[in-house]
Each structure stands twice: as C-alpha cells, then as structure tokens.
C-alpha cells in the first residue's frame, strides 16, 4: 500500500471517529442526558452485575424445562414466520 493510500485511510478513520463523537455528544445533548445520571447508572449497573455472581442455587429451578420452553417458542416463531412469508410472497408475486 502506498504512503498516499495509508495517509488517506488514516484521515478517513479520523474523520469517521470525529463524526461519531460529534453525533454521540449531539445525541446526549438532545436526549438531555447529564453526566451525573450516566455515573449513577454505571454504579447501579455494577451493583446489578455483582448481584448476579455467584448465582444462588438454593432454590430449585427447572433449567431443562425453561430451555425446552425457549426452544418451543423459537420453533413456533420460525413456523409462523415461514407461513407468513409464504402468504406475503404469494401476494407479491406478479406471475401467479
């Protein structure tokens, strides 16, 4: 890669980074997010995450049952999605 191409690539990355930072700051200003609130939410999220570890295994939970229920929901969602997409494709087809 030539020196010109490397310089162009680096400049492009710097411009994209600058625009991302400006967009982030504009979004925070527009949503009225103040730094104190961000710091408070960080502290609360740390306490939430620390409360998850180590997990409590005192109460019996049906992990297998919950996993099977999640699998059932995923399969039913897929089946309904296929049915809906076939119906939509039939309505959108111009050659039927």
Tokens at residue 79, please?
């089946």
3-31, pLDDT tens digit by residue?
777 788 889 999 999 999 999 999 988 98
Residue with tokens 């010109």: 4
In terms of phi and psi (left: phi > 0; alpha: psi -120 to 50; beta: otherwise), the region of 32 is left
Residue 88: helix, strand or coil by DSSP? Answer: helix
35-44, pLDDT tens digit by residue?
788 788 888 8
């Amino acid at each position: 890669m030539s020196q010109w191409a490397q310089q162009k690539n680096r400049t492009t990355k710097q411009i994209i980074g600058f625009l991302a930072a400006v967009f982030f700051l504009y979004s925070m200003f527009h949503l009225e997010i103040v730094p104190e609130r961000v710091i408070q939410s960080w502290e609360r999220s740390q306490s939430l995450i620390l409360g998850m570890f180590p997990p409590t295994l005192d109460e019996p939970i049906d992990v297998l049952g919950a996993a099977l229920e999640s699998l059932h929901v995923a399969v039913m969602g897929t089946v309904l999605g296929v049915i809906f997409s076939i119906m939509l494709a039939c309505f959108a087809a111009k050659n039927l």
